[in-house]
Amino acid sequence: MKRTGLIFLLGAIFTPFNATAETTTVCTLISDTKTGKTIVEEGECKTRATAASTFKIAISLMGFDSGILTDAHHPVWSFKEGYPDWRTAWREDTDPQYWIEQSVVWYSQQINIRLGEARFRNYVTSFDYGNADVSGDTGKQNGLTRSWLSSSLQISPAEQVEFISKMIRGELPIGKQAREMAMGLFDMGVQANGWHVLGKTGAGLSQNADGSPIKGQPWGWFVGWATRGEQTITFARLTHDSTRPAKSPGFAARDTFLAEYFATDSAF
């Protein structure tokens, strides 16, 4: 897809439009990472949606394991004309930490391009990541640059929690050092109730049966893990808006989830 088309598709998610949009929490899922025991399960947690920017967790693992990424600040790649740039912050030189902090789409794309189709597909398949469909838009052959962006790659909250739990337990086919460096990029700090939270937001458009995007009605993701003392939990929240919201649905999912579970003492 041309840059302008991608801007239209994803920019629609973030542009303020209707402050009264109805937001539905599709699923909230929290599990004990070590035992796999479910702590909280509310809603339809097997519903699949576009992976959107939560897929950066998987991309970071691929990047470090393959040696394309070397540490939090290397490599530094420069923005080029033609890259997705609907956010001003994306027009800057970018390293891995900045990539995650600003959710820079073109940096993800450049990692995948350097991996190549075969390695990219093999990683996603070995991760057992959602439907593992990295073909991209139908007939466009753009899986390396588009598959996770309201396209072919879909994942459910239950699958998100399983993927992240396997990562933390060292059960993915990734070297320990690569795994640790990747996980460090998602640090959100210690919260008010003492839980140290790491995670990633995501937002993407809903799709029709033929894969075409539905304007408005976006999904919102917040997925990750948290530690306190000897306990580690893994979580996923998925939301859906009836019309285009005033606030990024990923940010909204994150903020409400943190307020509900990490602002005061929790039961887990």
Q: Helices 157-169 and 56-66: crossing angle, nearest 10°?
A: 30
Q: For 32, list phi and psi in degrees, rounded to 5.
A: -75, 120
Amino acid at position 11, single letter: G
Active site residue 53: yes
Selected catalytic residue, list 53, 60, 152, 266: 53
Q: Residue 116: how many CB atoms within 10 A of its CB?
A: 12
Nearest CA-CA partner of 219 in 55, 33, 3? 55
Q: For 24, list phi and psi in degrees, rounded to 5.
A: -110, 130
**C-alpha dihedral (229, 233, 239, 245), degrees to nearest 10:** 30
Q: Residue 241: how many CB atoms within 10 A of its CB?
A: 22
Three-class SS string for 87-127?
Answer: CHHHHCCECHHHHHHHCCHHHHHHHHHHHCHHHHHHHHHHC
The stretches of 95-218 forming alpha helices (DSSP H) are 96-102, 105-115, 117-126, 143-146, 157-169, 176-184
Positions marked active-site = 53
